[in-house]
Structure 1
C-alpha cells in the first residue's frame, strides 16, 4: 500500500552555515561598524541570539540573517522570533528559537487538513513527530501532498519516505 510521511525538520548544518555567513557579513559591513552587533547560535537549545545597540540595527541584523537562511534553503517558518528586549550596557537583544518537529497540535492540524481534502481512501496516522499517510492509489497521495502544500502555511512541512 503506497504511503509517505509528513515531517517538519531543520537542517542544522545549513543553519550553522547561514549564521556563520551572516556574522561574517556583519563584521565587514560599514553600517554595523561600532554597533556591537553579533549573531550567536546555540546548538543545544536551538536558539539564535541577535545583539546590537538599537532596535533598528537589530532588525537590520535579523534581515541579514533571514537572507542567509533563505539562500541556504532553511524555511523562515521554522523561526519563532522572541521580543526585542533590553540587555547589558544599553544594548538590545532578540532570541530566535528554531522550531523543529511536529508536536501533537501540529500533527492534528495536518490530519485535519488531510480529512478536509475529502479524498476517499486516504488515512492519516500520527506516529511520534511525524504523520504517516496511506492510500491504495498513488495519485491520491500526490493530491494530498498538493493539498497540504497549499493549506499548511503556519509551519514548514516536508514529505519523506514515499513508498509504493
Structure 2
C-alpha cells in the first residue's frame, strides 16, 4: 500500500550557514560598527542582540535574506518578543521550527479525513503518515495539504509504492 510522511523540518546545516553569513555581514557593515549587534545559533534557537528594536529588525531582515538565498524557508523561523537586557541592549530569540506539533498534526489528519480523497492519515511522533490505495490519491492528498495549509513549510518524504 503506497504511503508518504508529511514532515516539518528545516535543513539545520543551511540554517547554520545563514546565521554565519548574517554574522559576517554584521561585522562588515558600517552601520553596525561599534554597536552590540550580534547573532548566534544554539540548539535550534537563534539569538539576536542589538542596541534597539530597529537594529533587531535590521538583523532579522539580513537573516531572512541570507536564509532565502540558502534555500531555507523563512516560515521555519518563529520570532519571539524583543526583550530588554542589561544596559540599553535588547535581544530576541527566534526558534527554528522542527517537527509537526500535536495540534497541527491533528489538524492535518482532520483535513485529510474530511476530504473526499480515499486516503488515511495516522500521527506518528512528529510526522503524519498518509496511506492510500494508489499513487494518484496520494498526490491529490499532497496537493490538498499544501493548498489548505500555506503557512506551514511542509515537506513530503519517505514515499513508498
Write the deviation string for residues 38-68 of structure 1: whole angstroms up to 9, x where unpaired.
Answer: 001112xx21010111111110111001111
Which of 153, 156, 160 is equivalent to 1:159? 156
Structure 1 residues 58-84: Cα deviation after superposition (integer angstroms, max 9, x where no partner): 101110011111111222222111111
Shift of 1:20: 0.3
Q: d(CA) in 1 for partners of 2:110 and 2:68? A: 29
Output the CA distance in 1 between the equivalents of 2:116 and 2:75: 26
**Alignment counterpart, residue 135 of structure 2, candidates 130, 133, 138:** 138
- Give the unaligned 5+ runs of structure 1: none
Q: 1:69 aligns with which of 63, 67, 70?
A: 67
What's the secondary structure of 2:9's corresponding residue?
coil
Residue matched to 1:38:
38
Aligned to 1:86: 84
**Where does structure 1 differ by over 4 angstroms across 4 or more consecutive aligned residues?**
none
How many residues are aligned here? 161
Deviates more, 1:149-158 or 1:15-24: 149-158
1:96-146 Cα offsets, whole Å, 9 max, x none, are 111210121111011122123321x21111111111111112111101111
Pick from 56, 59, 63: which aligns with 2:57? 59
3-state SS, counterpart of residue 99 of structure 2 = coil
The TM-score normalised by the length of structure 2 is 0.95
Q: CA RMSD in A?
A: 1.1
Out of 120, 124, 127, the residue aligned to residue 123 of structure 1 is: 120
Query: Could you say what secondary structure the match of 1:89 adopts?
Result: coil
Give distance in 1, aligned partners of 2:79 and 2:109.
26
Q: Residue in 1 aligned with 2:101?
A: 103
